[in-house]
Copies of this chain bind each other. A is one copy, B any other.
Amino acid sequence: MYPALRRHIETIIPLTDAEYDEFISILSVEKFRKDEFIIRQGDVVIKEYYVLEGCIQAYHSAESGARSVLQFAIEDWWISDFTAFYNETTASLNVKCIEDSVVLGLQKQHLEEFYKRVPKFERFFRIKVTRAFLSLKNRVLSGIDKSGKERYLHFCNTYPNIEKRVPNYQIASYLGIQPQSLSRIRKALQAQADSVS
């Protein structure tokens, strides 16, 4: 079941069929419609989610009403309010579907028990969280040092083809730029591509 998930794990750790079966036995398939919330700010968060199908965003709504997109997730990504998930506290993020989505939910308590039975998953999630940490660090540094264009190109590389699935203003929020700036960047890149072809 879920061959994409098995490949996703086996790029990091080798697995026997029994270990994989035990892992998927602690996951729950959940389906959400476009615009449906998986998590709302203030909810107690007990799960993280692996995306089988769809497109999802995690964003923060400030008291001023301003929205900041922190993460997108498409097929083969994990998403949650990770701070609330790990600390077993309430969410400061909304996790909401941009498209109809199918996810595998993983409860923290089930994961903790599972680590005791199959400790090699400590390595899998150590490497996954290290990559997430470095990716976030890179994003912080890019905000300091990189132009909007460079950040957009990096975004397209990180989330292949997602720019066709997500509204312009949400990508602009993720990049920390104005939607008008993103439109200008896209037009300039298109003009550049047209002049080459």
Contact = CB atoms under 8 A, between A and B. Distances in A.
A123 to B, nearest CB: 5
Nearest to A115: B123
Nearest to A119: B119
Nearest to A176: B144
Nearest to A144: B68
Given A122-B122, A123-B119, A126-B125, A144 B86 contact: no
Interface stretch (A2-10, A131-139, A151-159, A183-191): A131-139
Main secondary structure of the interface of A (DSSP, over half): helix
Interface in A114-150: 115, 119-120, 122-123, 125-126, 129-130, 132-134, 136-141, 144-145
A60 B90 CA distance: 33
A70 B126 contact: no
Interface in A21-55: none
A45 to B, nearest CB: 12
B86 A140 contact: no
Contacts of A68: 141, 144-145
A86 B115 CA distance: 23
A92 interface: yes
B87 A144 contact: no
A178 interface: no
